[in-house]
Amino acid sequence: MIATVQVPFIRGGAEAHAEGLRNALCAAGHEAEIVAVPFKWYPPEKILDHMLACRLLDLTEVAGTPVDLLIGLRFPAYLIPHPNKVIWILHQHRTAYELWDHALGDLITWPHGAQVRDAIRQADRQLIPQARAVFANSRNVADRLKKFCYIEAAPLYHPPPHAEEFYCAEAEDYFFFPSRLCLPKRQSLVVEALARTRQPVRVVFAGAADHASIRKELSSLAAKLKVQKRVQWLDRVTEKEKRRLYAHALAVVYPPLDEDYGYVTLEAMLSSKAALTCADSGGPLEFVRDGETGLVAAATPESLAAAMDELWKDREGARRMGEAGRAAYEGMNISWSHVVDRLLA
């Protein structure tokens, strides 16, 4: 049984992750099912209600058939009790941890935010170690768990969905930035960087907005900075179209804030494209080797603009980095069969 949470109508990497794991378990001859608990995080006491709801669920057996293993992926679903539980943490409730005192933090803006923060931390510290084994989605997630909860976890990488279908084609004149439009992904940083480039850099953004207002704000920002003709907003695209956009991109730009893992970096590598990220981007830094498989810029519009200019001018360099990225991916043993072996060991 795979335990995760679902924010209704929001679909991102976490959902693909759970589905990928289920498919891999089935492919390995197991019966596997996803149990997704709906999740709402405001007002903050709702978080506590969801934590309690998870603790009250019984997934030890179904109609007399025992559930041999529970794999917990996301907070608070990974708190669901089970005598044989493995936790593979995608991420904790981040606004109770590294995003608590951060511009993106929302928990801190509530009167009783500190209470709920402490309750989340207490529950994580108390209950995560009850699992038979604890894995993290990435080194970044493992480091946070160690830093805030003093719990060791082994990083366990997995491939992005349809990894085998990514390909490389002749580069065209654009950077590709596929992601949901939301503050943590920092599309606005890229728009601001565009205004500072010296080359006629273009960026194609693909991904649905978390809120309609975000899309409007980004369009307004592009207009204000007079770069609207150098950006393209494609909103949601099909997986096939996404792979085509990767394949023809000059490079991939992906500067999120402290990303947990980040499929985009891996997809860039699978498409043999250089990845441009930032020094505070978290997960992508586990894969992008600066100057070899991509570039790592400071998280400022100026630094990001300089890196974009560099790749725009040096097409051959960009191509070489892309190829090096693909080779690096091949050498990392990132596969579902490896994941299944580790989780079931």
Partner 1 sequence: MKLNWFSPLPPAGTDIAQFTLRVLPALRRALGGGAVTVWTDQDKWDEKQLAGVDVRRYRSGAVPWMEINKADLSVFNIGNNAQFHGAIWQISRQHPGLIILHDTHLHHLFYHLYVEQWQDAKEYLRQIAKYYGEAGRRDAARRMHNVAQEVYYLSEQYPLTPLALENSLGALVHSPVAFDLLRRARRWPLAYAPLPFPAAPLLEAPGSLERFSSGPPFQLILFGYIGRNRQLGAILQALAEFEEREQFRLHIYGELTDQEHWAAQIRELGLRRLVQLRGFVPEAKLDAALSAAHLAINLRYPTMGEASGSQLRIWSHALPSLVSETGWLATLPAAAVAFVRPSNEVADLQAHFRDFLSDPQRFQQIGEQGRRVLLEQHAPDVYARALIECAQMAERFRPQLIARQMAERAGTKLASMLKVNTPDMAASKVGCEIRELLISANTGD
Which two structure tokens, joined as six digits, stand for 320?
A: 């070489």
110 near partner 1, judged by CB under 8 A = yes
When binding is defined by CB under 8 A, the residue of 23, 84, 122, 199 that contacts partner 1 is 122
- Does 60 contact partner 1 by CB under 8 A? no
Instruction: Determine the interface stretch with partner 1 among 24-32, 43-51, 184-192, 196-204 (rule: CB under 8 A).
Output: 43-51
108 touching partner 1, by CB under 8 A: yes
Q: Is 86 near partner 1 (CB under 8 A)?
A: no
Using rule CB under 8 A, residue 46 touches partner 1? no
Among 2, 3, 51, 251, binds partner 1 (CB under 8 A): 51
How does DSSP assign 194-223, residue by residue? HTT-SS---EEEES-BSSHHHHHHHHHHHH
Smallest distance from partner 1 to CB 176, Å: 35
> What whole-number distance in Å separates Cα of residue 307 and Cα of residue 212?
30
| Beta carbon nearer to partner 1, 24 or 79 | 79
Could you please report the per-residue DSSP string of 3-64? EEEE-TT--SHHHHHHHHHHHHHHHTT----EEEEE----STHHHHHHHHHHHH---SEETT
Residue with Cβ nearer partner 1 (89 or 227): 89
| Residue of 118, 173, 241, 302 that binds partner 1 (CB under 8 A) | 118
CA atoms of 260 and 59, how far apart (whole Å):
27
- Is residue 116 within the footprint of partner 1 (CB under 8 A)? yes
d(CA 15, CA 115) in angstroms, rounded, equals 29
From the list 246, 216, 228, the residue with the least C-alpha distance to 191 is 228
Long-range pairs for 53-57 at CB < 8 Å and ≥24 separation?
Answer: 54/3, 54/79, 54/80, 55/79, 55/80, 55/81, 57/81
Distance CA 108, CA 8 (A): 24
Q: Which of 10, 26, 27, 52 binds partner 1 (CB under 8 A)?
A: 52
The one among 13, 20, 72, 113 contacting partner 1 by CB under 8 A: 113
Interface with partner 1 includes 126 (CB under 8 A)? yes
Q: Which stretch binds partner 1 (CB under 8 A): 67-75, 88-96, 109-117, 161-169?
A: 109-117
280 in Cβ contact with 303 (< 8 Å): no
Q: Which stretch binds partner 1 (CB under 8 A): 66-74, 107-115, 191-199, 261-269?
A: 107-115
What is the contact surface with partner 1 in residues (CB under 8 A)?
A: 45, 48-49, 51-52, 55-56, 79, 101, 105, 108-116, 118-119, 122-123, 125-127
